[in-house]
Amino acid sequence: MSAIHPTAIIEEGAQIGENVTIGAYSFIGKDVKIGDNTTIGTHTLIEGITTIGKGNEIFSHAVIGSIPQDLKYHGERVELVIGDDNKIREFTLINPGTEGGGGVTRIGNQNLLMGYVHIAHDVIIGNRCILANAATLAGHVELGDGVVIGGLTPVHQFVKIGDLAMIAGASALSQDVPPYCLAEGNRAYLRGLNLTGLRRHINKDDINSLKSAYRELFSGKRPLRDAALELKNSSNGYVVNIADFVLNSTRGIAYKRSKS
């Protein structure tokens, strides 16, 4: 049984699942779908063509599904899709897609979006990511699984960040970060592997293989693409992933070649 506060406004047409809680003075638009066991805090706005999965916790004053902050948007039919078991904290702003970016902003499962996080149009976020307070993703940014972005960090439009990468707080990222890597600074560039995150998910032998691959890619003297092409033939799947990411990067990799 759902618990909807009498001051909440639910427009006709909205689809509310089982055991959903909606707090005081919240607004749910007519094209919104909310999955079972989701909790929505007070003074929350959810509008647009927005689909929210099961078991999400959305805290007060979040704004979800409002039109893109893009001057090219002129009322096209665009969507926001959020998966299951996410925590979306206070004052978070999430926009749907745009016609030029595929029309969908998509957030996976088990993510934590802390206070004042902004997710712009056409962003794609994987699973189990953590965005600390006031992290800001511009349009068309893509995050893999298990990405961590520190607080007060903006990410430039079209940037891609690979699985299990970490961006330090108060950085400013304008280029791609390969999977398993750590980037920091303004402008941010690679500082090494995200060893703390890797030790929680990957065995020691695979980490050692990634260490060797990282040195070959970012500390050697060979052209980056040549090193990545060779590593693509590795028998280690993690090494192949990082090589593929480098080869497919369109914004370039956020790194500085070692002078040693």
| 122 annotated active-site | yes
| SS3 call for 188 | strand
- 139 catalytic? Reply is yes
d(C-alpha 185, C-alpha 249), whole Å: 20
Annotated catalytic residue: which of 48, 53, 97, 121?
Answer: 121
Q: Which of 23, 97, 139, 146 is catalytic?
A: 139
CB 60 within 8 A of CB 23: yes
- CA 39/CA 159 separation, integer angstroms: 32
- CB–CB of 2/16 below 8 Å? yes
Q: Is 140 a catalytic residue?
A: no
DSSP string, 80-102: EEE-SS-EE-TT-EE----GGGT
- Rounded CA-CA distance 150/226 in Å is 32
CB 191 within 8 A of CB 184: yes
| Residue 175 near residue 254, CB atoms below 8 Å | yes
Choose the catalytic residue: 70, 122, 145, 163: 122
CB atoms within 10 A of CB 211: 15
CA distance 56 to 35: 8
Tokens of 32: 């919104």
C-alpha distances (whole Å) from 51 to each of 16, 54, 88 are 10, 10, 14
Q: What are the residue numbers of the active site?
A: 121-122, 139
